[in-house]
Chains A and B, each alone.
Chain A
Amino acid sequence: MKRIGFRLMASIFVMIMSLPLFAQISGAEVMRHVFERPTGEDMQATLNMTITNARGSARERSIMQFRQDSGTIEKKIMFFTAPADVRNTSFLSFSYSDGRSDDQWIYLPALGRVRRIASDKSNESFMGSDFTYDDMGARHPEEDNHTILREEVVDGWQCYVVESVPIVPNSEYAKTVSWVIKDEWIGLKKEFLATDGSVTRRLVIDAYEKADTVWVITDMTMTNLRKQTSTRIRMNEVSFNNNLRESFFSERQMQIGPRT
């Protein structure tokens, strides 16, 4: 009797401690920290993307990626290095912080021409992978309502578990749950849940490191549990603040290739 009473007390204590009410920080603040985590003024990396379909067949792609962030415009240029038949195909995009839709260009070396791409399908797959453009960092935290569910230890890190519910409902998921490292503001895991509570997609971070004082995820896998497909992205040779020229993010550079 006495022992049961003690256990009950203990569990109530734990429950109270983990209630969001008692947390010092709100869910929205956590997610803002994540969104605003310093990523350097510019960055360059080699990206290896492996897309695996339901039957276990895989497609490999290698991309050299350069990014520059002026605060109002985020510019990205990507050069395909493999497979051979798409080598030097390049992709340039400008994302605007004021909510304007992205500007995108594509250069197909076999066509010898840069063409603009206009797309109104923003929540769609990123390069035919299991990632969406939103996943790649385009989604602003103000698009969701955030709540801290609890705290958990993942990989030895103390994490906030934050639930985010889209303000404008979308067909892809009802809500997401993110595991964010306290004070480092880097997400270690993210799940996309359907209305019935089942997980539709799951993002798992397998490797991350601090390069030049900036956290960078070097290995992550997004699994689509419904379609049984997955995409793994690995980053190598990551470097920050290389003082890339403004003109590097141009149609001309797209045709020249990744020579700085």
Chain B
Amino acid sequence: MHIIRTISSKSLFLLLILLILTSMGIVAIAQHARLETDLNEYMPSTHPAFSFSDESEKLFGITDRILIAIEHPDTIFNAGTLEKIRDISLDLPASFPEISDDGVTSLYTAYNITGSEWGMEVGSFYGPDIPSSAESLGFLREQVVSNEMIYGRNISKDTKASLIIAEVDPESDVQDLQKRLINYAESWEGPETLYIAGRPIVEGALAQLGPADMARMFPMVMIVMITVLLILLRSVRDMILNMVIVLVGIVAAFAGMVIVGVPVYAVDTMIPVMLIAIGVAYGIHMHNAIHHEVLKNPDIGKQELVDAVLKAMVRPVFMAALTTAIGFMALMTSQVLPVRYFGLFSSIGVMTEMLLALVLFPASIYLFGVPRTGLTAKTTSAQQPMVRMKRNRWGQFQMRKPGVSIGIALVCTALGIAGTMNVWIDTSFLANFEKDSDIVRTDTFVNTHFGGTSSLNVILSADREQAFKDPEVLQAMDMLQRNVLEQEVVGNAFSLTDFIKRMHKVMHADDKSYSLVPDSQELIAQYLLLYEFSGDPETLESVIDYEYRNANITFQLKSDSSAVMSEIIGIIENHEERFEELGISLKYAGSGYKAFVFSELLLQGQVASLLLSFVIVAILLAMLFKSIWIGMIGTVPIAITAIINFGIMGVFDIPLSSATALISSIAIGIGVDYAIHLIEHYRNRRLEGNTIEEATFSSIRHTGRAIIYNALAVMGGFAVLMLSVFPPNRQVGTLIVLNMATSALGTLSVLLVAIIALDKRGLFIRTDKTSISHEITSQEESIV
């Protein structure tokens, strides 16, 4: 406390240092901060599911694909469109370094293996010359429609659209690629329409849209918050101080990342949100304490005021920050790197804000003198009694009818728990966009005309070589594929069996009844040899390894939602037993699957660390107030906030994702602050000898006011986000407004009731009745 006083007394010097440090921080962030957009970097690569997927991706060359759909109003079977398909197929690798020479699949590059009475023919569908006569176009159409390897996969069933599939280097910058591809597609339009879809596109758009929208909305959030703060605090000086605390706290967190060399991840957009909500709380509590001291004694001197405020506030503000920071630190148990960093750097931000709140407010007193707020006591006295009465009524209500608050809280919690049952876990990139946005419309187009924009790879591994030449194994695969394809959301399946079925049919003069897996292992082996002869062994390598020990089935899905993925995996798992009998194990791979595992991990981690931080907070509170009871009741507002948060998510269909799950951390950060301030204030009043009733009223007047102001300012600011065009940001806004409201109400009702109840049973504080001093109370009453 002495140190703080010394530091804050050198106000000008302090301001200078702060300015320099902040500027350095901002410069460092501007120059060195790098945004991590590669989702693979988010995942713990040592996790077995990820390392297996990575290995399989290498084995079978599984990469994210960009889907370019060309739609012609009538049919793609016309010279102009066919020429465009050829030109784009040839030009893509030349125009995009991310796409390799043999990474493009289209009607132009595809092999057409056909059967006839006399034998088999291997060739292109067309090219290099473009068919233009009605006869040759008709022949091409016939070829396409009769080839199940391409019809419905690369050419839509109505023949109005054709797909060009490009494999993209996983290392590429998706955001940049997405922009260039969209421009590129536009240059080829007319009379055809081009659609670009695929995971890299969605990722790219998301990486661009999310932060861009945040950047657009953030100034508005700040303006509204500033306005609300000005109205509530009626002090330009304190409003500015609040904003400085918040901004410097945010700078500190991000500068910390730069110093340690950690990139900025997408979840880190939540750091400013968190730090605003918490930082404003510290500022308001400080403002409130000063305000009250001045009201108590309008003639108070600078030094006296600083001493009084610090005496009252150092302990609760420090405790609140410490508990919040440690609560965030619990996130460091997460398996997911960005979440760990989120926890660490949020803690740094919180501690910075705490220090600033403790130093800057006294410094402002030294620099600008005792705030005038105190002098307006008389002018505002007209409103004051009403405010006081209201607060007192609230206090009386809480004291006389504690059952009502408890009852309401119990009902809300019960409803919350019921709602929580409906919370669905989902990480869908596409769900982040408006239904009528370009990206969703494109995706829908490709999904309705073709197999699907998302994929799931099923990796089958046998305990022996040559297993995937075994007809029984292949028939089981075929069965699995057909079963999964029954799902409407699954558009396509592709595996070794498709090659074998195709060859079997071709070698039987294209007779459809031979489109099946034959019973002879020799025949299968010979078909595969023949397929290699035909000059396209590389395609085969994407479905089977050299030893015929590992096979890859690709399912194309019409949705990128992890809930859908989970459902499909459930169906696939029904086949596990059959494969086990055949000595084959089933695993999964691909970026879609990794995102799915990632979201599960993220949520498990989040829920675990939420529970852990609960325990930590309870222990810390118990230690700080030297009472297990206080530790327990102190977590009640947090619990209520968290439960109602999840409940509302369930009711309003807000899926639990990485961003929305992190918001529940606000429940801890804010809830702890509120609890500590309320408990501390109440306890101090009681230690000073006030009665339970007096301590309650005083707590409501002091802490209650600060809590309400804090909640209103933050709610006002983040309510702006509810107007965002970006759905995830809207969800963030809604949940923050909700969390602030429940935290404030929960603290001022349930926690207060609990404190009173404990106190009445003599469990809250061991007071010595003889030391009650009416002097202080009466003095205080007379001032307010």
A residues contacting B by CB (< 8 A) are: 53, 55, 57-59, 80, 83, 85-86, 89, 91, 105-106, 108-111, 113, 115-121, 124-125, 127-128, 171
Which of A55, A111, A124 has a CB less than 8 Å from the CB of B526? A111
Asked whether, in the complex, the Cβ of B118 is within 8 Å of the Cβ of A89, the reply is no
Asked whether, in the complex, the Cβ of B119 is within 8 Å of the Cβ of A116, the reply is yes
Asked whether, in the complex, the Cβ of A89 is within 8 Å of the Cβ of B526, the reply is yes
Which of A106, A113, A171 has a CB less than 8 Å from the CB of B101? A171
Question: Mask for B519-547, Cβ within 8 A of A = 1, else 0?
Answer: 01111011101101111110001000111
Asked whether, in the complex, the Cβ of B526 is within 8 Å of the Cβ of A58, the reply is no
The verdict on A117 contacting B120 (CB below 8 Å), with A57-B545, A57-B547, A110-B520 known, is: yes
Asked whether, in the complex, the Cβ of A89 is within 8 Å of the Cβ of B529, the reply is yes
Asked whether, in the complex, the Cβ of B526 is within 8 Å of the Cβ of A86, the reply is yes
B121 is an interface residue with CB less than 8 A from chain A: yes
B558 is an interface residue with CB less than 8 A from chain A: no
B469 is an interface residue with CB less than 8 A from chain A: yes
Asked whether, in the complex, the Cβ of B121 is within 8 Å of the Cβ of A119, the reply is yes
Asked whether, in the complex, the Cβ of B533 is within 8 Å of the Cβ of A115, the reply is no
Asked whether, in the complex, the Cβ of B541 is within 8 Å of the Cβ of A53, the reply is yes
- Inter-chain CA distance A80–B532, complex, in Å, is 14
21 contacts between A and B (CB under 8 A): A57-B545, A57-B546, A59-B546, A89-B530, A105-B119, A108-B523, A108-B527, A109-B522, A110-B522, A110-B523, A110-B525, A111-B523, A115-B507, A116-B120, A118-B119, A118-B122, A119-B121, A120-B123, A121-B123, A128-B537, A171-B101
**Complex contacts, B95 vs chain A, CB 8 Å:** none
**Complex contacts, A91 vs chain B, CB 8 Å:** 533
The verdict on A115 contacting B535 (CB below 8 Å), with A108-B507, A110-B520, A110-B523 known, is: no
Asked whether, in the complex, the Cβ of B119 is within 8 Å of the Cβ of A117, the reply is yes
Interface residues of B, dominant DSSP? mixed
- Inter-chain CA distance A127–B529, complex, in Å, is 8
Nearest CB of A to B451, in Å? 26
**Complex contacts, A109 vs chain B, CB 8 Å:** 522, 526
The verdict on A106 contacting B525 (CB below 8 Å), with A119-B121, A119-B123 known, is: no
For this complex, into which size category does the number of interface residues on chain B fall?
20 to 34
B59 is an interface residue with CB less than 8 A from chain A: yes
B684 is an interface residue with CB less than 8 A from chain A: no
- Inter-chain CA distance A53–B525, complex, in Å, is 19
**Complex contacts, B111 vs chain A, CB 8 Å:** 121
B487 is an interface residue with CB less than 8 A from chain A: no
The 9 closest A-B pairs by CB, nearest first: A116-B119, A128-B532, A124-B535, A110-B523, A85-B525, A128-B537, A115-B119, A57-B546, A110-B522
**Complex contacts, A120 vs chain B, CB 8 Å:** 122-124
Asked whether, in the complex, the Cβ of B529 is within 8 Å of the Cβ of A121, the reply is no
Asked whether, in the complex, the Cβ of A125 is within 8 Å of the Cβ of B535, the reply is yes
Asked whether, in the complex, the Cβ of A119 is within 8 Å of the Cβ of B546, the reply is no
The verdict on A117 contacting B534 (CB below 8 Å), with A53-B546, A55-B59, A57-B547 known, is: yes
- Inter-chain CA distance A106–B541, complex, in Å, is 22
**Complex contacts, B537 vs chain A, CB 8 Å:** 125, 128
- Inter-chain CA distance A86–B466, complex, in Å, is 13
**Complex contacts, B507 vs chain A, CB 8 Å:** 108, 111, 113, 115
Nearest CB of B to A94, in Å? 14
Nearest CB of B to A199, in Å? 16
**Complex contacts, A57 vs chain B, CB 8 Å:** 545-547
Question: Mask for B345-357, Cβ within 8 A of A = 1, else 0?
Answer: 0000000000000
**Complex contacts, B466 vs chain A, CB 8 Å:** 85
- Inter-chain CA distance A91–B530, complex, in Å, is 10
The verdict on A119 contacting B122 (CB below 8 Å), with A85-B522, A110-B526 known, is: yes
Residue of B nearest to A118 (CB): B121
Kindly identify, within residues 101 to 141 of chain B, every residue whose CB is under 8 Å from any CB belonging to chain A. 101, 111, 118-124
- Inter-chain CA distance A42–B101, complex, in Å, is 40
Residue of B nearest to A57 (CB): B546
- Inter-chain CA distance A86–B534, complex, in Å, is 16
**Complex contacts, A113 vs chain B, CB 8 Å:** 507
Nearest CB of B to A47, in Å? 15
Nearest CB of B to A103, in Å? 10
**Complex contacts, A116 vs chain B, CB 8 Å:** 118-120
**Complex contacts, B58 vs chain A, CB 8 Å:** 55
Asked whether, in the complex, the Cβ of A86 is within 8 Å of the Cβ of B118, the reply is no
Nearest CB of B to A139, in Å? 16
Asked whether, in the complex, the Cβ of B546 is within 8 Å of the Cβ of A58, the reply is yes
Residue of A nearest to B121 (CB): A118
Asked whether, in the complex, the Cβ of A119 is within 8 Å of the Cβ of B523, the reply is no
Question: Mask for B493-533, Cβ within 8 A of A = 1, else 0?
Answer: 00000000000000100000000000011110111011011
- Inter-chain CA distance A68–B528, complex, in Å, is 28
Kindly identify, within residues 460 to 492 of chain B, every residue whose CB is under 8 Å from any CB belonging to chain A. 466, 469
Residue of A nearest to B122 (CB): A119
**Complex contacts, A115 vs chain B, CB 8 Å:** 118-120, 507
Residue of B nearest to A116 (CB): B119
Residue of A nearest to B506 (CB): A115
- Inter-chain CA distance A111–B527, complex, in Å, is 9
Asked whether, in the complex, the Cβ of B120 is within 8 Å of the Cβ of A108, the reply is no
- Inter-chain CA distance A113–B536, complex, in Å, is 23
- Inter-chain CA distance A110–B523, complex, in Å, is 5
**Complex contacts, A106 vs chain B, CB 8 Å:** 119-120, 530, 533
Asked whether, in the complex, the Cβ of B521 is within 8 Å of the Cβ of A85, the reply is yes
